[in-house]
Chain A
Amino acid sequence: MNTLKYQSQAVAKPYFVFAMILFAGQILFGLLMGLQYVVGDFLAGPIPFNVARMVHTNLLIVWLLFGFMGAAYYLVPEEAETELYSPKLAIVLFWVFAAAGTLTILGYLFVPYSTLAHITGNDILPTMGREFLEQPTITKIGIVLVCLGFLFNLGMTILKGRKTVINLVLITGLIGLAVFFLFAFYNPTNLALDKYFWWFVVHLWVEGVWELIMGAILAYVLIKITGVDREVIEKWLYVIIAMALITGILGTGHHFYWLTTPVYWQWVGSIFSALEPLPFFAMVLYAFNMVNRRRREHPNKAATLWALGTSVMAFLGAGVWGFLHTLAPVNYYTHGTQITAAHGHMAFYGAYAMIVMTMISYCMPKIRGIGEANCNRAQVWEMWGFWLMTVAMVFITLFLTGAGILQVWLQRLPESGEALSFMATQDKLSIFYWLREIAGVFFFIGLMAYFRSFFIKEKVETQT
């Protein structure tokens, strides 16, 4: 049964499916790394910690990009009230990106990194060797080409169709994503300068333009599941993206505290990053307010749960946990400790992983021809997946926060002669790492429950 408003929306499906496959890979490598924290030589030969970490973080970035692309391909035609400009281009770009991504991950796993750099021509334009931007230069060029094709396709669709606030905010966020990625090609030899511009990619993605993407997707889903007037939701969206940009851009300063930059960055970074939770704060109030004012009971309860859940978890992970260690005097002690890892885990899951799963939850039943919602049994499995993953992530965050506090206490607070060394401190944190690993296993079980929900078919009565 065809339940799509525009047939070209179906191109989102392979993006979502591949995103979920990569998500599973990310969690498996996360579990492996978590174990290597406490059993250092576990699989250390074939998959050393640095490789596992690189795969874990790169898979995260790539699956989120696939998720955003899938969400955009589904959302834009419906908002623009027209078919996608070129569904074929979307499919071609999918295979190009999937092939490039897969080859890159296989390269990380099976080729020594220096050899990978050599055979992919890193000498010609050196961009490799930096955290999160480890991709070979040729892969980075591929990402740029895929982004250009993707933006062209969406841009032409919007130009020929209806221009809504959601579409325009989404495309602005996606253009920003592509533009800021260009800083990945600038790789100065001065390490401080390198880090300075490296944050233009990393920070201005996750604490800048990605928030626009998240806001647009959440607004779209809320309109659909609550039936609240578009005008009301769009006004909230304006406020949220304004706050995200005002606080997020100068909030980059919280990464410049200890980069030999002028001291005024400690003030600029502290003040503006202290305000960075505000868009997430507004987002959670907005999501619950819209649900409170709903004009319909949407049958897709799982999508409603994801939409509410993402706003809360994004507020906690990105907003609260970010704020806890963002002020310069606090960050002086906490910088680069497990507190950062705690913030990173909950923020990425709450804000970006969950918004992609919100969108998947809302539109996959339609793409698969099931209807507005999956059958009850599938939704039960999906909700189990939601709760298991979310509660596990809360515990992962709490255990990492505990580890971070102890790390600061043992390694950072004492005078230099009395402080424990990094590795001696890590030994003392092992109980937290074990607990984090157990929580990680529960997260994986939740992910499996979530995947299981896609394979449950129940005969659904058809209204006559």
Chain B
Amino acid sequence: MDSDNDIMPRKEGHKRLLQKIAKVVSIISIFLAVVSAIYLLTINSEDEKVLKASIGAVAFFCFTLGIVLNAIANTNLPDLRINKNNKNNKTK
């Protein structure tokens, strides 16, 4: 560890509202990614290159967004709120 005044983190079981929202949106994103990928597989026409690329982009967007939001939702985030009783920033 790089500093002497390390404090072990508190265990915070509960997730914040924004994390809960992130979880729901991540599930929706993954679902949309799957739907877009299936739709992409059904486009066969050579004339539909732009549509293919766009649907591919949507699938990729939704998939990566879903994974990222899921990671954010599952993280035990530190309490970043500052309140008057917070004395964490005492200097040595």
Contacts and interface: CB of A to CB of B under 8 A. Distances in A.
Contacts of B83: 376
A242 B59 CA distance: 25
A370 interface: yes
A371 interface: yes
Interface string B53-77: 1101100110011011001101111
A301 B7 CA distance: 14
Contact of B64 (A292, A320, A462): A320
B92 A371 contact: yes
B91 interface: yes
Contacts of A285: 67-68, 71
B78 interface: yes
B17 interface: no
A372 B91 contact: yes
Interface string A304-326: 11001000100100011001100
B41 interface: no
A395 to B, nearest CB: 18
B68 A312 contact: yes
Given A3-B91, A224-B3, A330-B50, A297 B57 contact: no
B1 A296 contact: yes
B86 interface: yes
A294 interface: yes
Contact of B90 (A284, A323, A327, A460): A460
Interface of A: 1, 3, 223-224, 227, 274, 277, 281, 284-285, 288-289, 291-292, 294-301, 304-305, 308, 312, 315, 319-320, 323-324, 327-330, 332-333, 370-376, 379-380, 383, 460-463
Interface of B: 1-3, 5-10, 49-50, 52-54, 56-57, 60-61, 64-65, 67-68, 71-72, 74-78, 80, 82-84, 86-92
